[in-house]
Structure 1
Amino acid sequence: MRGAAPQQTPKLQPAPRLMLRESVYESLKRLLMDNDLEPGTRLSIDGLARDLRVSQTPVREALFRCEAEGLVVRRPNAGYHVAPQLSRDALVDLYDLRLLLEPTAAARAATNATNDHRHAMDDAIRAMTPAVPGDGYQAYREFAEEDAKLHGTIATAAGNPLIAETLDRLRAHTHSYRLYFRHGIAEVTTTEHQAIRDMIHRRDPAGAETTMRTHLENSRIRLLAAYDDR
């Protein structure tokens, strides 16, 4: 007698509401990241809901998430507005702080990283390598996400929660990519990421610190060029 065929577990699909919320969030984020709206522009929840043909609820949720990422600001009795872009001085200050924290984090990660941390770094770099973005948020979204994931993993692997929490609150990647992104930057950035990863894998604290510092200094130069192009 044949045994009963094993039951296959059905693949779970996102609930329609979750798909709608994510779709509205990505649509709004693309609008903000591509700078289609001038900083300070008031965002009408009702107007956005009409344009997207959805109710106001997913729009409110998307605005709340964008506020947490620093893309919009909420003003008392005035609703949501497009957040101002980072000024040149603010960008310099942001990278000054990153240069104080992330090279140290990379050095510590070279000593403290677990196999799980190393695998996560490998996965992030592998995922970003083929993603050579063109212009526009949609084109480089995956790259930006993996970039942030790599830096976050290194900060976590350092073993100092305060460093990881501080870098997360800076929202550095959101600000940077909203400011500027060109074809070709992904390739050179990925090469720099690979050098950092290699030093951490070799358990070389000095090498990890140096390659992270070089990467951040180069990144700042690339971003500062945005102000010269205006």
Structure 2
Amino acid sequence: MTTPSVSGRVRPAQRLTLTDDVYESLKTLIMEHAIAPGDRVSIDGLARTLEVSPTPVREALARLESDGLVRKRAMSGYTTTPLLTRAEFEELFEMRLLLEPAAAARAAGHATADDRALLQTEAAAQPAVESGDGYRRHAAFTALDARFHDLVAEVSGSALLRDAIIRLHSHLHLHRLYFPSTTQAGDTAAEHGRIATAVARGDADAAADAMHSHLTAARTRHLPAFTR
């Protein structure tokens, strides 16, 4: 494997928070495809790149395995998780449709005034990148989308539900980085706005319905990528 360059992607690992810093650095390299889906991961190569010992790299890879972003096989080490197949993509959205409407309904019942204000702010947020800058704008949009969904899950008040949702999102982000044209920021923002409004009203049924409609529409927007 060619050791990826961290220039412009991640900052060198900081000693004070070494394990977390290495984890975030490796996650960024995987999510941005600096280490391609299905590639072998070189522990020694990454340790040299990040200027750390192999130990925090191994610890970070164990966490990334739990996240579903890398796989470990006996005698062959770690590889990054391949991109989703059409069947895996459908299964992922089936799980999202089970979990995220429930999280939105719980959020409507648990949200504080500050939570409601933050959700509406995040729903209205726009990528801080010029519209003509395709990849960077897509990456910024992906980050905004993840932040909104993770915030809904957090406001739900269920740590287990939030953890399950975040792990599912990691797989989807890998897919979206490979197929950036499948996202439509305007539609997504409007759908997020309807979810945030329902949560702000404390209407659990409306929040669940809005999340269900949003995820169904998002699935439809992504499907054309599998026919190319």
TM-score tier by shorter-chain length is 0.7 to 0.9
* Residue 177 of structure 2 corresponds to residue 178 of structure 1: no
Corresponding residue number in structure 1 for 2:75:
77
User: 1:85-134, CA deviations, whole angstroms, 9 ceiling, x for partnerless residues?
Assistant: 222111111111221232233234323322242234235335x4234585
Match of 1:115 in 2: 113
Q: Distance in 2 between matches of 1:104 and 1:24?
A: 33
Which moves more between the two structures, 33-42 or 76-85? 33-42
- Residue 49 (structure 1) shift: 2.6
Q: CA RMSD in A?
A: 3.2
Contact 1:179 1:226 in 2 (8 A): no
Contact 2:127–2:144 under 8 Å retained in 1: no
Distance 1:153 1:37, change over 3 A: closer
Task: Give the % identical residues.
Answer: 42
Q: Does 1:201 align with 2:200?
A: yes
Q: Which residue of 2 aligns with 1:130?
A: 127
Match of 1:42 among 30, 40, 43: 40
Counterpart check, 1:60 vs 2:58: yes
Report the Cα offset of residue 27 of structure 1: 4.5
- Label 1:203 to 1:90 Cα distance change in 2 as closer, same or farther (>3 A): same
Structure 1 distance, partners of 2:23, 2:126, is 26
The one-letter code matched in structure 2 to 1:227 is: F
Shift of 1:142: 5.5
Listed as ranges, the gaps of 5+ residues in structure 2 are 1-12
- Which is worse superposed, 182-191 or 92-101? 182-191
Instruction: Return the TM-score normalized by structure 1.
Output: 0.73
Deviation of 1:141 (Å)? 5.4
- Closer, same or farther: CA 27–166 of 1 in aligned 2, 3 Å: closer
Hey, what does 1:94 align to over in structure 2?
Answer: 92
Distance in 1 between the 2:32 and 2:79 partners? 15
**Residue 228 of structure 1: aligned partner:** 227
Q: Distance in 2 between matches of 1:139 and 1:20?
A: 30
- For residue 218 of structure 1, what is the amino acid of its counterpart? A
Paired residues of 2:127 and 2:137 also in contact (CA < 8 A):
no
